[in-house]
């Protein structure tokens, strides 16, 4: 029988160990082939213990996404909403958060896992879109709208197509997995260059 954690800190430690083990198993075996027995063994707990904290394999994956990416995104959303900075600086703030996410090995693994498994498991794609992508796009739209309202931005293209803002991050993740051993990519420098170009385009006045 699975034993309940004796304290909140023990509970958090167990959940952290289970999430870390699950990410390793999901990454190496794939979501379909991964078994909760394997996750439990890697985390050093009984299989029944996992069900004290997570309802299913899908629930466990969602918890990984929420902890590694969702929590950081929520912090950036709050910072953007409360900031008096000009829209261009807010866009750079969002760009910095995107760059940090791409550089962080754990977040990069999560994003790659979603990219690989989302097509085969629609529920994964739907969850990620609902909890991460839709929030990120709403934040970008709010920044672009603020910039237009203030007269700082002369174009609304990134508001209509916020995917333009995030596209280089996807390129960086795919490149890190497929091509990095052949030709390393400085993802942070590429993303900085992308946002420099984007902000110049948004603020440039017609001749």
> How much of the chain, in percent, has pLDDT values that exceed 70?
96
The residues, any chain, with a CB within 8 Å of residue 170's CB and separated by 6 or more, are 111, 115
Contact present, 81 and 138 (Cβ < 8 Å): no
Please tell me whether residue 6 adopts helix, strand or coil conformation.
coil
Average pLDDT over residues 123-131: 96
First to last CA, the chain: 74
Model pLDDT for residues 58-93, shown as the tens digit of each residue: 999 999 999 999 999 999 999 999 999 999 999 999
* pLDDT value of residue 1: 44
Burial of 85 (0-12, 13-18, 19+ CB in 10 A): middle
Q: How many whole angstroms separate alpha carbon 200 and alpha carbon 202?
A: 5
pTM for this prediction: 0.87
The residues, any chain, with a CB within 8 Å of residue 130's CB and separated by 6 or more, are none
- The alpha carbon of 81 is separated from its chain's Cα centroid by a whole number of angstroms, namely 19
């Amino acid at each position: 029988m699975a034993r309940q954690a004796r304290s909140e800190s023990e509970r958090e430690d167990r959940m952290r160990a289970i999430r870390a083990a699950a990410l390793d198993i999901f990454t190496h075996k794939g979501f379909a082939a991964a078994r909760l027995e394997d996750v439990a063994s890697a985390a050093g707990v009984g299989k029944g213990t996992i069900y004290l904290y997570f309802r299913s394999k899908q629930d466990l994956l969602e918890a990984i996404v929420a902890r590694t990416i969702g929590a950081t995104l929520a912090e950036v959303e709050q910072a953007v909403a409360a900031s008096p900075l000009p829209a261009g600086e807010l866009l750079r703030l969002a760009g910095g958060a995107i760059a940090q996410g791409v550089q962080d090995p754990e977040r990069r693994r999560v994003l790659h896992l979603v990219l690989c498994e989302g097509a085969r498991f629609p529920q994964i794609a739907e969850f990620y879109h609902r909890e991460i992508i839709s929030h990120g796009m709403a934040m970008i739209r709010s920044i672009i709208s603020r910039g237009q309202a203030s007269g700082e931005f002369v174009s609304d293209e990134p508001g209509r197509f916020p995917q333009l803002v995030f596209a280089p991050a996807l390129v960086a993740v795919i490149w890190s997995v497929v091509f990095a051993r052949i030709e390393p990519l400085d993802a942070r420098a590429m993303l900085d260059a992308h946002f420099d170009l984007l902000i110049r385009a948004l603020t440039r006045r017609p001749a």
